[in-house]
Structure 1
Amino acid sequence: MDPDRLPPASAGGRRRLPRLALGLVLLCVVGTVALAVPGTASAAPDSGAVDGAVPASVGEPAATPASDTVSVNAVGIDLCAQVGYAAGFRGSPLVTAVAVAMAESSCNPSAVGSNGPTYGCPNGSLDRGLWQINNCYHPTVTDTCAYDAQCNANAAYNISSGGSNWQPWSTYNSGVYANYLSAAQAAVDRLGGGGTPGGVTGTILASPWLNVRAGPGTSYAVTGYTYYGSTVNISCYTFGEYVGGGYWPSSTWDRITDPATGATGFAADTWINTTYDVKSMVPSC
């Protein structure tokens, strides 16, 4: 019998909310967010471009620390680390990316800054989302993308040339981002093995073990094993082969790391117990 489809042992522990109930909760949350009106940042400086670079954001930070002690929203900064990692930032560029996002928006995906006229944007412009992507200088980044955490991170990755050029960001040029480097490093450290921010974990429900594979399906090679009751880190999810067994049959596969066995790869989500639907907890791979 394929261990990807083994019958469950006694589930025990916490169970996820029923996905229908979770859907109703998410609808309520989305409805509430849709009614919210983003705040407005201070006006833009006279010049946005630096050394001829097209700016990513041109305004002042959407949120500026009131003192030398920077108060960090742990959920927000971990979100920036999570989506930054998923976008492709690694090592010190990831730390810088998180620090820049904290300086720009306090890692608030709904943050918006309103700017007056700048060179090339005579009608003013808006800086949007986590990395405050400007709508005039980067019109291909739609509002839908800009206010989506992962899409905004992907845009920041492209604009920064993979983290090698931060001059398009005003808070980098002013040095404000440096106030957040220590907190950013701590958030990156929390990613842990497999890139799991803020301790997003799951419990293995397949007995006696579950295959960990190179891709999201049983046709992919087995790269390792994780055992019943093990706690694994979950970095992202994707869709692949439908698995009909387990507790929540679906085509969702989670990218996991088992700290005990060292196995890293994909495992069928139906055999992994998480507090909520994994798709609401981690980004797509």
Structure 2
Amino acid sequence: MRLPLPTRAARRALRLALGLTLVATVGVGVMPSPATAAPAATGPAAQAAPAPRPADQAKPASVGGPAIGAKASRVGVNAVGIDLCAQVAYAAGFRNNPLVTAVAVAMAESSCNPSAVGSNGPTTGCSNGSLDRGLWQINNCYHPTVTDSCAYNAQCNANAAYSISSGGSNWQPWSTYNNGAYAGYLSAAQAAVARLGGGPGDPPPGVTGTILANPSLNIRTGPGTTYGIAGSVSYGATVNIACYTFGEYVSGGYWPSSTWDRITNPATGVTGYVADTWVNTTYDVKTMVGRC
């Protein structure tokens, strides 16, 4: 059955009813009041910028500490590493109590690892962050004149520490001195200094290495196999290393390279050059001694 068409008034009423229903169903967006607006982010608050340093305070030698890989524990001290720190600190000019403090600070900063590096976030004057480098963790932003090649060289790093600390009289630039961490290494540092031996004016023994060539290794008068033979040293012997240089490339051994070490065989007193590839050292020899 066909229903009669609605009148104009009925159609108008129907359209009005449908419009109200549509509004009720879809809704209209409501802007929240400022008091109830959702936060833009819910993460932790941004870190406040560090307070300005007093104008008369020295620039820090290191910002963070200890470095990556450095041990904060008072036990398990790397005896070879701490002896390295004692040797280069002595050679840099540290003496008596400042020498002991220097070694303890280096242990707290880097575990006496010349390759140690600590990464820091932005600090005053170093908005892009910075790196603490080497034995005494010399900061690359606050001390840009200490190049990377110097910072990662044991002796050069010690020399820089001697200068920054005013000959061992001011350790305030080191974070591990200020927070007392260095004190945990004072006994070990004292023992390392005692192992240097000799009188107050005597130089410490050089960095040592172990011969890996079997049954023996020739000691040359220069950095290459074309130089004369000054003597030889047996497999497993410990030799003193004074410095390194570059010469003939040696493809054999354990670490093929053109690096040669100037060594002394304590058993015979013979001094000369041997290929570094046949000498085992705690770290890369180029970070432990200077160039000849």
TM-score interval, smaller chain: 0.5 to 0.7
Are 1:171 and 2:176 matched, yes or no?
yes
- Can you give the 5+ residue segments of structure 2 that lack an aligned partner in the other structure? 1-47, 198-203, 225-229
Q: Is the 8 A contact 1:206 1:228 kept in 2?
A: yes
CA root-mean-square deviation: 5.1
Bigger CA radius of gyration: 2
Aligned residue in 2 for 1:239: 245
In structure 2, the residue corresponding to 1:56 is in which secondary structure? coil
Counterpart pick for 1:77 among 77, 81, 86: 81
In structure 2, the residue corresponding to 1:99 is in which secondary structure? helix
Are 1:201 and 2:210 matched, yes or no?
yes
Aligned residue in 1 for 2:140: 135
Whole-angstrom CA distance in 2 between matches of 1:251 and 1:136: 33
Q: Is the 8 A contact 2:86 2:99 kept in 1?
A: no
Q: Is the 8 A contact 2:62 2:139 kept in 1?
A: yes
Aligned residue in 1 for 2:18: none
> Compared with structure 1, are the counterparts of its residues 73 and 84 closer, same or farther at alpha carbon in structure 2 (3 Å cutoff)?
same
Moved more, 130-139 or 57-66: 57-66
Code of the aligned partner of 1:170: S
Q: Is the 8 A contact 2:110 2:136 kept in 1?
A: yes
Shift of 1:131: 2.0
Q: Is the 8 A contact 1:135 1:142 kept in 2?
A: yes
The higher relative CO (CA closer than 8 Å, separation ≥ 6) is in 1
Whole-angstrom CA distance in 2 between matches of 1:46 and 1:177: 25
Shift of 1:267: 0.8
Are 1:117 and 2:126 matched, yes or no?
no
> Compared with structure 1, are the counterparts of its residues 127 and 45 closer, same or farther at alpha carbon in structure 2 (3 Å cutoff)?
farther
Whole-angstrom CA distance in 2 between matches of 1:277 and 1:55: 29
> Compared with structure 1, are the counterparts of its residues 191 and 258 closer, same or farther at alpha carbon in structure 2 (3 Å cutoff)?
farther
Q: Is the 8 A contact 1:86 1:283 kept in 2?
A: no
> Compared with structure 1, are the counterparts of its residues 75 and 123 closer, same or farther at alpha carbon in structure 2 (3 Å cutoff)?
same
Are 1:54 and 2:68 matched, yes or no?
no
Instruction: Percent identity, please.
Output: 46
Aligned residue in 2 for 1:159: 164
Code of the aligned partner of 1:77: G
Using structure 2 for the length normalisation, give the TM-score: 0.52
Whole-angstrom CA distance in 2 between matches of 1:276 and 1:177: 26
Equivalent residue runs for 1:13-52 within 5 Å:
52=57
Whole-angstrom CA distance in 2 between matches of 1:276 and 1:136: 31
Q: Is the 8 A contact 2:122 2:128 kept in 1?
A: yes
> Compared with structure 1, are the counterparts of its residues 237 and 179 closer, same or farther at alpha carbon in structure 2 (3 Å cutoff)?
same
Code of the aligned partner of 1:112: G
Aligned residue in 2 for 1:267: 272
> Compared with structure 1, are the counterparts of its residues 229 and 155 closer, same or farther at alpha carbon in structure 2 (3 Å cutoff)?
same
